[in-house]
Amino acid sequence: MKHHNHWHTFRYAGKAYTDPQRRRGEAPSTFPPFAVKDFLSETSIKHAGTVDRIPAALDWLKQGATSSPPVDGAQFLLEERLAWADRTLGLERGADIIWGYYTNSQVYVSLSVIACPRRPHEACPIGFQDEAR
């Protein structure tokens, strides 16, 4: 049984940082966390929005990847990635999508769709009110 009822979207575009650089405080607070659980607890990262339907999440991912296309577009295969994301978002567990890639101008782009709540009966830490609750 699924316990998430919506997803939060996060977008970052800028310089990439390694885990050691982030731990030393060299990455800006808007850089995505390395642990998925931290997306919903770190308020400084760029929260792009909230979606409560899989097609809306897929549209958001497609728009993000289209507006900032990856340098390896022939390898990125957007339609295949969207099909995989569609299947993944419908799963009971592991229903998060995190894409990270470089653009032609060497900008690192991270597009993340994070399931919420993380555990059954938890409230949304960002404050989204599900109408079914």
Sequence ranges of the domains in the chain: 6-116
Residue 77 clears pLDDT 80, i.e. is over it: yes
Residue 93 confidence (pLDDT): 62
Q: Give alpha helix (H) positions in the chain.
A: 19-23, 54-67, 73-76, 78-89
Peptide bond into 117 cis (omega under 30): yes
Query: Average of pLDDT values for 60-74?
Result: 94
Query: Average of pLDDT values for 21-41?
Result: 88
Angle (nearest 5°) at CA 87 between 52 and 1: 65
pTM: 0.87
